[in-house]
């Protein structure tokens, strides 16, 4: 089956995507986890952002952590979770840092159809 023959699922509330979490212990240490349930009908040879350090997950105990979900290729291009943490290092709140990372992704895409990306961040 060629790549063009593979059916791609529609992005909707029934799809499952990357699951990321950040945890802070009672001493203020931050940890994170990122996993993908995979994408039904995943394209052959595709690697998402979850296994790439700094894309799907990044934690710096000195600053904070971030996780990403959505179209992995878009997250990989800006090293998304690392970008969120670096924006927090510059003084942005986690909410603003996530917003700025999403805006960076939007700015780099001419066609936003089917583009779905989100971040969580914590200090």
**Active site members:** 18
Q: For the chain, what is the HEC assignment?
A: CCHHHCCCCCCCCCCCCCEEEEEECCCCCEEEEEECCCCCCCCCCCCCCCCCECCCEEEECCCEEEEEEECHHHHHHCCHHHHHHHHHHCCCCHHHHHHHHHHHHHHCCCCCCCCCEEEEEEC
């Amino acid at each position: 089956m060629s790549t063009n023959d593979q059916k791609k699922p529609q992005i909707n509330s029934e799809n499952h995507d990357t699951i990321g979490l950040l945890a802070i212990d009672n001493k203020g240490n931050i940890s994170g986890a990122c996993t993908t349930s995979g994408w039904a009908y995943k394209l052959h040879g595709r690697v998402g952002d979850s296994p790439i350090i700094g894309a799907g997950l990044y934690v710096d105990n000195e600053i904070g952590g971030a996780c990403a979900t959505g179209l992995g290729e878009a997250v990989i291009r800006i090293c998304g979770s690392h970008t969120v943490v670096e924006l927090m290092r510059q003084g942005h709140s986690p909410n603003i840092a996530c917003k700025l990372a999403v805006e960076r992704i939007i700015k780099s895409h001419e066609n936003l159809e089917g583009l779905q990306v989100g971040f969580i961040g914590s200090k």
